[in-house]
Each structure stands twice: as C-alpha cells, then as structure tokens.
Amino acid sequence: QLSDMWKHADKNKVYMADLESGLHYSLRVEVSKFSTLAGDKLTALRKYVTVLAKFFPARPYLKNLLQSLDNWLRSRANTQISYSDFRNMVDNNEQVPDAVLTSDVTWVGCQGSKSWLRGFPCSVWTLFHVLTVQAAYNDQYQLKETYPLEVLDALRGYVQHFFGCAECAVHFENMAKETMTLVSSMNEAILWLWSRHNQVNYRLAGAPSEDPQFPKRQWPSFDMCPTCRNMVRRRSTWIEGSILDFLKAHFCLQNIATDYLV
C-alpha cells in the first residue's frame, strides 16, 4: 500500500527534483563526513564540482552557485581545505548574487515505497547518466573543452571517496578498473555507464535493497524502447545504435521535468 503522499512520476521522464536533492545530499551530507579535505579526496571533490559546473543542466540560481563553488576550489591551491570553509560556499554565506543550492529533499522519479529505499543512490545514477549525455552534447557543439573520461573519472572518484555505501564503492571500483579506461569517446562513456548500471541491476535483482515496487530489471524495458532490442533465437540482445539514441533523448534537457520543485 503506497501512502497518500505518493508523488506521481512518469518513468519516461527524468526529474530535476531528484537531481537537485541528490546534489544537496552529496555536498551537505556525504562530503560533510570529512572535516578536512586533502590529497586524493580533495582531488575527487574538485573533479566532481568541475563536472557539475560544466555539465549539470542547472536552473540559473544553481548554475551560479556551482560556478562560484568551482571557481572557489580552483582559486585555492591549498593542499587541504576544511569542510566548514567548503560548506560556507555551498550555503553561499559569501552572498554571491542569485546563487542557491536547495536544502530541500524531494524524491520523485527516485521516490521509494519505503523511506529507506531508493532516494539518494538512485539520484547518483541519474545524475551521472545526465552528465555523460550533457558532456556529449557539449562536445558535439564544441561548447566546452572536455575529454571522454572526464565525467566517468569524476563519478569514480566521488564513489570511491564519498559514497556512503562502502560495499557499492568496492564493486564499482572493480568494474571501473576492468574497462573504464578503454572508453575513448563521449558516446562510449554514455554506453559504458548504461551497461555497468545494468550489470549492477542484474547483480542486485532480488537483493534486500531492492524496492518491490521497482524491481531491478535490464533497462530500458521493452515498452520504454521497443527498438532497443533484437530477438535472436528467443534471446533479446541490445542494438547499440538505438540504445545510444534512446539514452541521449532520455537524459536530454527537454526530458527533465520540473514537477515538485520548490
């Protein structure tokens, strides 16, 4: 039985509320577990904030905040930064005009049927799928200098150094070590993340972390993308070109819904 507070979500859409809630949670909750940021952790944080400033399709107030945070990190050559100084910038206590990161948490596409299911981890996947796709669009129009592994590197560093689920971090690092460095184009980065996410879905099907209302399946489902699969001797295989088109359309700016945003 789902509660009366249940928010309607369309599985064919991406929700900005999930992306913003995830950013708030990562920068104000996960990163805050470390009072001092130094060494590889600081490098990982810098890379994460840089890809957010470059590729997150933010609303203007958040765009300004991400830009100011990235500039601030770049302007500090320090080998260590305190979380409280970083937090001061996240909260915009310096009063950069028109710059805000919400402190509201509203899960929509990532809403779980129980409070402990889905939510933040779902938003991390969603965020990085959006970022790989946005980086590819930027590259196509030569809008920003970028290299194929930039977003995946940032994800790898974030997961390794900040993601609260230690077991997930070990699993992900193993996948990254195996094949991530073979990625040689923006489109391959999109496909790499999609296929690794499906590997994780396969491994976790039926696990205690699975929300029974959102069973782990190979994604996208047939009804979401009928042209993405081929049936060969009663086994379905993916059609890579169609998958790429589907991912680029699903995670594009026009498909990000603004419902339930505060």
Number of residues that bind ligand FAD (CB under 6 A): 25
| Binding of ligand FAD by 7 (CB under 6 A) | no
Examine residue 214 and tell whether it contacts ligand FAD (CB under 6 A).
yes
Within 8 A by CB and 6+ apart from 179, the residues are: 192
Beta carbon nearer to ligand FAD, 64 or 112: 112
> Which amino acid belongs to residue 5?
M
The interface region with ligand FAD, picked from 54-62, 83-91, 97-105, 192-200 by CB under 6 A, is 192-200
| Residue that has been written with the tokens 């590259």 in this structure | 139
- Contacting residue, 28, 64, 121, 146, with ligand FAD by CB under 6 A: 121
ω into 220 cis (within 30 of 0): yes
Question: Under the criterion CB under 6 A, does residue 261 sit at the interface with ligand FAD?
Answer: no
CB closer to ligand FAD, 50 vs 201: 201
96 part of the interface to ligand FAD, by CB under 6 A: no
Is residue 201 a contact residue for ligand FAD (CB under 6 A)?
yes
Among 19, 62, 124, 133, binds ligand FAD (CB under 6 A): 124
Residues constituting the chain: 262
191 lies in the binding site for ligand FAD (CB under 6 A) = no
Contact between residue 256 and residue 14 where contact means Cβ atoms under 8 Å apart: yes
Nearer to ligand FAD, 19 or 89 (CB): 19
Closest Cα partner for 24 from 71, 1, 56?
56
DSSP labels for 110-162? T--SSTTSSSHHHHHHHHHHHHHHHHHHHHHTT-S---TTHHHHHHHHHHHHT
Q: Residue 17 has which token pair?
A: 């509320």
Q: How far apart are CA 171 and CA 50, in angstroms?
A: 25
Q: How far is the CB of 193 from ligand FAD (least distance, A)?
A: 7
Residues from 127 through 186 that contact ligand FAD (CB under 6 A) = 129, 159, 165, 167-168, 171-172
- State the nearest-atom distance from the C-beta of 94 to ligand FAD, in Å: 31
Cα(38)–Cα(32) distance, rounded to whole angstroms?
A: 13
- 197 contributes a contact to ligand FAD by CB under 6 A: yes
- For ligand FAD, the binding residues in 50-79 under the rule CB under 6 A are none
Find where tokens 């819904």 sit: 257
From 59-67, 79-87, 179-187, 194-202, give the range in contact with ligand FAD by CB under 6 A.
194-202
**Structure tokens that stand for 133 in this block:** 């796709």
Task: Please say whether the beta carbons of 131 and 55 come within 8 A.
Answer: yes
In whole angstroms, how close is the CB of 126 to ligand FAD at the nearest point? Answer: 5
DSSP code, position 257: E
* Binding-site ranges for ligand FAD (CB under 6 A): 110, 118, 121-122, 124-126, 129, 159, 165, 167-168, 171-172, 194, 197-198, 200-201, 204, 207, 209, 211, 214, 219
